[in-house]
Structure 1
């Protein structure tokens, strides 16, 4: 019995899936059109026909991962208290790492310039969303809302780097990791100073004691 031939759409989806796995395993530079074609059991021209080459396939894979992760993060911070939103965002990223490991590896581990821009763009989007949340919180508490983006950069960076560490460790459970990350973030935010200074600057600005004056 003859094997049923794939439609153009089915073939495209097959190549995207195969390319995703290959890029995660071998990186962009380590993956070739020959390799992708061999895995799909098709000729090289079929890959070129659908994507124009390795670069086109890679761009589609990265774009899909970006959209998926951005959707997860956006949905996670749509409701809840300020702390709950940060918790939900951290957990959403860790869940993505757990469920879509290949996709996350492509976004954070491939050295190509395409990937660098892609992940940076994604993080900037997250920073923008978190900045909006923090800006509202800062205004409510009497802090300078213009500093919200600085704190958002710090929070997103913390969660992102922790997720990359957890990619390999997978211990403790993602819920525990998210809780501890937010514990550090939130308890730091709850004791936020309106005009923080470095310890050395505090010493410079502090008034001299009687003993210091006499000396």
Structure 2
């Protein structure tokens, strides 16, 4: 269940919820408000009203707007990292692995809650705590990708990381463009196009210990 669905399910006033359920409800309401209004325009009053609770209840869980925003950011950074790691582990076929990883970014930005905007399009990037989280999740995703590249190619850690940052960066930038442009291209087709572009590059590196390229099964 998404944060938005949790909010809808838990919204009625006067309902006493377990602490974890209440926290999820508040995070869901905060996501709606922050995505719609941005951090600076959003008010704790708006979030409390959206959640159907009083401000004191909101402050029992989060001492301020920044703490609430950071908790939400942590949640969605972890969701992105989990998606990338799951994609990488989903297959041992390298081409399919590239496609799955790129699709993870497309799936992340396509989520109806718009949480990706908190990570990639925040209006609070000058806040050190926000910048640190955004930079960290980008680095963690790249590290996960680079581990696979290094294992398969025998490239150095630094070389593998450079390629991984490129693949991750291209994936999220193109996915965001695809969504914001209202493209008529279906997600599956968009992922296939981007995968073909990336694969023709990454497949040129030979498999570690094997005198043939990663794409030895044949180019597409």
Tell me if 1:117 matches 2:132.
Answer: yes
Q: Distance in 2 between matches of 1:34 and 1:94?
A: 33
Shift >6 Å, 4+ stretches = none
Find the structure with the greater CA-based Rg: 1
Question: Match for residue 144 of structure 2?
Answer: 129
Correspondence for 2:55 among 28, 37, 44: 44
Question: TM-score w.r.t. structure 1 length?
Answer: 0.79
Match in the other structure for 1:30: 41
State the Cα RMSD in Å.
2.1
User: Deviations 1:17-36 (Å, cap 9, x if unpaired)?
Assistant: 11011011111111111211
Mapping of 1:12-161 within 5 angstroms? 12-78=23-89, 79-112=91-124, 113=127, 114-139=129-154, 146-161=158-173
User: Aligned pair count?
Assistant: 188
Residues 76-101 of structure 1 show CA distances to partners (whole Å, capped at 9, x for unaligned) of 10122122111101111111222244
What are structure 1's unaligned runs of at least 5 residues?
194-215
- Unaligned 5+ runs, structure 2: 1-12, 207-220
Structure number with the higher helix fraction is 1
| CA drift at 1:73 | 1.1
TM-score normalized by the length of structure 2: 0.77
Give per-residue Cα distances to partners, 1:123-170, cap 9 Å, x unaligned: 11111111111112322xxx5564111111111111111122123134
